[in-house]
Amino acid sequence: MDINIEELIPHRDRMKLVDEVIEVNEQTAATGATVTANWPMFEEDYVNPIVLIELIAQTAGISLGWTELKTKGINPEGKGWLVGIKEAAFYLEKIPLNSQIITDSKKVFDFDNYKEIRGIARIKGEIAGKVTVQVVQSDP
């Protein structure tokens, strides 16, 4: 998809992990990312899988930002979201440099400014991690 990621999430430079948006709508998002030496938590030739929490949160942010952009237009104030981790499970000890990660997120609960989103990150089709995040945004 031809989408400007920086219009949807506030992350820049080495904190922006998402490289491409594969699919997005009000409930779900799918993204692609490639592990680089610039990623947070990079050591030697790998990253710690805990970085998948951020990758799943950014993928969720793509859907949230896309919905906000469609309904409200560009938000010049750049309001972000407060994210809490409800559950996280990792199936690798290390994620090698240049790994291509496909991440899917799905909104499973939505009430006012609170949302719960489940995400799965896969490498070569195998599940690398599953994370459920809780997202809160202040009133506009």
Q: Which of 102, 108, 100 is nearest to 27 (CA)?
A: 108
Residue carrying structure tokens 């809490």? 84
Domain spans, the chain? 14-136
Query: What is the pLDDT at residue 76?
Result: 47
In the chain, the amino acid numbered 41 is M
Mean pLDDT, contiguous 10-residue spans, the chain (140 residues): 72 82 95 96 96 94 85 63 93 98 97 95 98 84
DSSP string computed for 115-131: EEEEEEEEETTEEEEEE
- Asked if the 14-136 domain carries CATH number 3.10.129.10, the reply is yes
Query: What is the pLDDT at residue 77?
Result: 53
